[in-house]
Amino acid sequence: PGEPDPLRVLGLDQLRCRTSMKWRAYPEDVLPLWVAEMDVPLAEPVVRAVTDALALGDTGYPAGTAYAQALAGFAARRWNWQGVAVEHTAIVPDVMLGVVEMLGLVTGPGDPVIVNAPVYPPFYQFVSHMDRRVVEARLGADLRIDLDRLAQTFREASAGGGRAAYLLCSPHNPTGTVHTAAELAAVADLAERYGVRVVADEIHAPLVAPGVTYVPYLSVPGAERGLSLMSASKGWNLAGLKAALAVAGPGAAADLARLPEEVSHGPSHLGVIAHTAALNEGTAWLDALLAGLDANRRLLTGLLAEHLPAVRPCPAEATYLAWLDCRALGLGDDPAEVFLDRGRVALSPGVLFGSGGAGHVRLNLATSPEILTEGVRRMAAALT
């Protein structure tokens, strides 16, 4: 029969026992469909690996290359990509701290870091806190990379002196866009032409819908000087078990070699164990999850058509997030505030995602069909 759909296992009573951010940030009468945590039990191989480590007292500092080897194997099986060279990887505490470290290797204070807005809010926060300038190259009207706009932004950034970087979100959060091989090759070509270094956040890479091809950035021609951050965190709901991998293209290996040794002290050893188990043994669980997410995307489209026909979902090909255009509802720049106050459902405000985010909300659909249905019902009730 295969693995059961992980999204259909836990009820609201069990989920409310959780003490993580998703379930503790709002009062109990609020249904949380916001932050990127999934309402799933963990994959059994992950539970077993962590439990075995605890039983052994194996809770020291991380060491070795098991995580990188697990990623290399997963990438070869899943994406037909043989390009993860273990010697060109480094463990980092998590993807965003890894992004900060990679940007620190290839840019200096005050240098521009280009992002495709609307995009994951911590891109703005972390980049600003490390004394770099965020420069937006808006996505096109189709919510794909606007290559003409990107070229113009690269040209202006490189003309300003200093060292420019491009922080690529692939697959894209919040839109769920999966960049094609042709788009990524064009990005690599522009980056080389204008001397812009690419750092790719590929945390959602395992979460691609059935029938959609995910292309790792470092696998495309011309991306040899790129740096990528990968993790099992999103695919297997391991945000509380901190660990990620930085992967360098062959032309960026020397940059990665300059990473301070103490960065490798930041990840959790239990995190490394959990992520390694997920990549090595968690594929059946992941496939069951992806089927459930696909069903939930279709369910959400139907629910919106029935209850909120003016709200348009972006056709996501990846992630477990839905980017909803609520501008036709006339709720102003922050419809999430109205849905929270009047509907008691928590969504992520689109305004936090930069230019193009106003009037939108991001909904987390990694939950049961029952909770998703109740969430849309509450959104509709907020308008009455």
Please check whether residues 231 and 161 belong to one and the same domain.
yes
Please check whether residues 165 and 93 belong to one and the same domain.
yes
Please check whether residues 127 and 25 belong to one and the same domain.
no
The answer to whether residue 32 is domain-embedded is yes
What is the value of pTM for the model shown?
0.97
pLDDT tens digit sequence for 65-91: 999 999 999 999 999 999 999 999 999
The answer to whether residue 261 is domain-embedded is yes
Please check whether residues 374 and 294 belong to one and the same domain.
yes
pLDDT at 2: 81
Q: How confident is the model at residue 1 (pLDDT cuts 50, 70, 90)?
A: low
Among residues 264, 280, 296, the one where a domain terminates is 280
Q: Which residues of 191-207 are buried (b: 16+ CB within 10 A; e: fewer)?
A: bbebebbbbbbbbbbbb
CATH number, domain at 24? 3.90.1150.10
Please check whether residues 66 and 22 belong to one and the same domain.
no
Please answer whether residues 152 and 99 qualify as being in contact, where contact means their C-beta atoms are separated by less than 8 angstroms.
Answer: no
CATH number, domain at 105? 3.40.640.10
Count CB neighbours of 182 within 10 A.
Answer: 11
pLDDT at 161: 84
Distance in angstroms (rounded) separating the CA atoms of residues 263 and 316: 34
The answer to whether residue 74 is domain-embedded is yes
Of 225, 230, 234, 213, the C-alpha closest to 36 is 234
Distance in angstroms (rounded) separating the CA atoms of residues 60 and 57: 8
Please check whether residues 104 and 196 belong to one and the same domain.
yes
- Single-letter amino acid, residue 217: Y
* Residues in CB range of 203: below 8 A, 6 or more apart: 95, 229, 230, 231, 233, 234, 244
The answer to whether residue 1 is domain-embedded is no
Please check whether residues 288 and 275 belong to one and the same domain.
no
The answer to whether residue 54 is domain-embedded is no
pLDDT tens digit sequence for 219-274: 999 999 999 999 999 999 999 999 999 999 999 999 999 999 999 999 999 999 99
Q: Is 321 helix (H, G, I), strand (E, B) or coil?
A: strand
Please check whether residues 275 and 288 belong to one and the same domain.
no
The answer to whether residue 154 is domain-embedded is yes
Please check whether residues 293 and 212 belong to one and the same domain.
no
Of 108, 294, 306, 327, the C-alpha closest to 211 is 294
Of 184, 186, 213, the C-alpha closest to 200 is 184
Please check whether residues 272 and 307 belong to one and the same domain.
no
Where does the chain have alpha helices with state H? Answer: 12-15, 21-24, 44-56, 66-79, 95-106, 122-129, 147-159, 181-194, 253-257, 269-281, 283-307, 335-343, 369-381
Please check whether residues 269 and 293 belong to one and the same domain.
no
The residue whose two tokens read 């998590």 is 94
Residue 127: which domain range? Answer: 60-280
The answer to whether residue 19 is domain-embedded is yes
Share of the chain above pLDDT 90, in %: 97
Report the domain count for the chain.
2
Average predicted confidence (pLDDT) for the chain: 97
The answer to whether residue 227 is domain-embedded is yes
HEC profile of 109-130: CCCEEEECCCCCCHHHHHHHHC
Per DSSP, the chain holds a count of helices (H) and strands (E) of: 13, 13
Please check whether residues 210 and 83 belong to one and the same domain.
yes
Among residues 280, 298, 318, the one where a domain terminates is 280
pLDDT tens digit sequence for 92-114: 999 999 999 999 999 999 999 99
Among residues 233, 262, 280, the one where a domain terminates is 280
